[in-house]
Amino acid sequence: MRLIYARYRMGLPIKGIDDFVRKESASLETATHNYGHFKRVADGAVWFVRVLGGGAREQQLACIAGLLHDIVRPADERVDHAVASAERSRRILQRFKFSREDTDAIVEAIHDHRLQPAKWKSPLHQSVYLADKIFEQMGAYLIFRRCMYVAESVTYKGVPMKEAINRHFAMRIERIPKDAFPKRFSGLVNYQYEWLTNAQKALSENRAWAWDIAKVSYENGRSHGKGLEELILTFEPSHPEAARVKAEAVEYLEGRKLKFFESLVLYSSY
């Protein structure tokens, strides 16, 4: 977690929260919402606050919000996990003796990370939503994560694999429209969204390379075998397109895409 807490020395117990989340995440119902996901959202939230002009303390608060954003995550789409996570996060922050002001700001970012509110109030407020949606719910690695999640989710229990995966991808695309994000991120969103829509199209058209990824990910989710990161790293593609998707996913997981992502923000229209 060097990116997150080595840079800031402002008195907030980020390492304590990090240790708590690492331990708690071991018992969550879905392996797709593991410590790796929490860490990437935390890092992404810090990144978005910085890009949006927020200072060091706001970045620190965003980091904590990212770490806690899915602390309650049942394997059921019908449960509003953002509200449940926000409520539990408030109790956790009180235990760590956060001020009321900081607690309210962190909890608000967690509460609103699932569905966009009427108006964003600050970089911190929108940071978890942006990191979760643009980094973790788009991009090349999403085909692995979503197919694995479908197998874990009680929402799709008893639904045939192909039907469940196609239905889930269609729902996710409908829930996250491209115009739901600030214009300055349009280049980044377009880049990430293309990976998402290409995967959805390939799956709906029964492209072999896409279903190679989907089946391996789905079966891994059913068996609770490898963690998501290990699944991607050990996946052996048999088609050039699958190899291209894996390479992009690995670059993202290893944190090697952020400089490129920032170039897309810098050249987007403001």
Domain boundary among 112, 130, 148: 130
> Residues 6 or more apart from 201 whose CB is under 8 A from it?
none
Does 232 share its domain with 107? no
Tell me the HSE value of 147 on the side-chain side, using a 13 A CA sphere: 24
Task: Indicate the SS3 state at residue 5.
Answer: helix
For the entire predicted model, the pTM comes to 0.89
Domain extent at residue 93: 1-130
Does 187 share its domain with 229? yes
Residue 161 burial by CB count (10 A; 0-12/13-18/19+): exposed, middle or buried?
A: middle
Does 167 share its domain with 91? no
Domain boundary among 69, 97, 130: 130
What is residue 76's predicted lDDT score, i.e. its pLDDT?
Answer: 60
Residue 61 burial by CB count (10 A; 0-12/13-18/19+): exposed, middle or buried?
A: buried
What is residue 128's predicted lDDT score, i.e. its pLDDT?
Answer: 97
pLDDT digits (tens, 9 = 90+) for 164-173: 999 999 998 8
Does 101 share its domain with 145? no
Does 230 share its domain with 245? yes
pLDDT category of residue 118 using cuts at 50, 70 and 90: low
Does 152 share its domain with 213? yes
Report the mean per-residue pLDDT for the chain.
90
Domain boundary among 130, 154, 177: 130
CATH classification at residue 80: 1.10.3210.10
